[in-house]
Structure 1
Amino acid sequence: MADTPTGWVVVGVDGSASSRYALEWSAHEARLRGLGLRIVTAVEIPDPRDPLAGPAIPANVEELPLFQDARALLDYADRWIQRVYPELETRTRVALRRPAEALMEAAEEPGTELVVVGSRGRGTLASAFAGSVGVELAAHSPVPVVVLPKEHETAPGVRERVVLGVDGSPASRNAIDFAFAEAQRRGTELVVVCAWQPITAFALTMGPLPPEIFDEEPLAEAAQQTIEEAIADYRKRYPDVSVTVRTVRAHPAAGLLETATPADLIVVGSRGRGGFRGLLLGSVSQAVLHGARGPVAVVR
Structure 2
Amino acid sequence: MIVVGVDGLRPGVLAVEWAAREAVVRAVPLRLVNVVPAWCLHDGPTGAVADIGAWMRNGGKSALAEAAAAARRVVGTVAVETSLLGGDPRRELIEVSEDADLLVVGDSGMGALRGLLVGSVALGVAGHAHCDVVVVRASAAGPRPEVVVGVDGSAAQTAVLDFAFREAAVRDAELRAVTAWNWRDPLGGPEASERALAEALAGRREIFPDVRVRTEVVEGSPVDVLRHAAAQAGLLVVGSRGRGVLAGMVLGSVSQALLHVAPCPLVVVRGR
Instruction: Say yes or no: TM over 0.5.
Output: yes
- Correspondence for 2:165: 180
Q: Deviations over 1:135-159 (max 9, x none)?
A: 221222221100111x21364xx32
Q: TM-score, normalised by structure 2?
A: 0.88
Deviation, structure 1 residue 236? 1.6
**2:31 equivalent to 1:38:** yes
For residues 262 and 40 of structure 1, the distance between their equivalents in structure 2, rounded to whole angstroms, comes to 30
Q: Is the 8 A contact 1:152 1:262 kept in 2?
A: no
Letter in 1 for 2:16: L
Task: Call closer, same or farther: CA 1:263–1:194 in 2, change over 3 Å.
Answer: closer
For residues 126 and 143 of structure 1, the distance between their equivalents in structure 2, rounded to whole angstroms, comes to 22
Q: From the CA coordinates, give the structure whose radius of gyration is larger.
A: 1
Letter in 1 for 2:218: V
Q: TM-score, normalised by structure 1?
A: 0.80
1:99 aligned to which of 69, 80, 89: 89
For residues 119 and 250 of structure 2, the distance between their equivalents in structure 1, rounded to whole angstroms, comes to 13
Letter in 1 for 2:63: L
Deviation, structure 1 residue 285? 0.7
Please show how residues 264-275 of structure 1 align to structure 2 within 5 Å: 264-275=234-245
For residues 241 and 219 of structure 1, the distance between their equivalents in structure 2, rounded to whole angstroms, comes to 28
For residues 277 and 138 of structure 1, the distance between their equivalents in structure 2, rounded to whole angstroms, comes to 17
Q: Is the 8 A contact 2:17 2:70 kept in 1?
A: no
Letter in 1 for 2:136: L
**2:133 equivalent to 1:133:** no
How much identity, in percent, do the aligned residues show? 38
Give the secondary structure class of the aligned counterpart of 1:177: helix
- Correspondence for 1:189: 174
For residues 16 and 291 of structure 1, the distance between their equivalents in structure 2, rounded to whole angstroms, comes to 19
For residues 111 and 168 of structure 2, the distance between their equivalents in structure 1, rounded to whole angstroms, comes to 36
2:78 aligned to which of 69, 85, 88: 88
Letter in 1 for 2:154: S
Structure 1, unpaired ranges of 5+: 1-7, 47-55, 201-217
Q: Out of 136-145 and 220-229, give the one that drifted further.
A: 136-145
**2:2 equivalent to 1:9:** yes
**2:224 equivalent to 1:254:** yes
Give the secondary structure class of the aligned counterpart of 2:60: helix
The total of aligned residue pairs comes to 259
Letter in 2 for 1:40: V
Task: Call closer, same or farther: CA 1:272–1:65 in 2, change over 3 Å.
Answer: same
Letter in 2 for 1:21: L
Deviation, structure 1 residue 81? 2.1
**2:59 equivalent to 1:69:** yes
For residues 208 and 123 of structure 2, the distance between their equivalents in structure 1, rounded to whole angstroms, comes to 30
Give the secondary structure class of the aligned counterpart of 2:156: helix
For residues 67 and 38 of structure 1, the distance between their equivalents in structure 2, rounded to whole angstroms, comes to 18
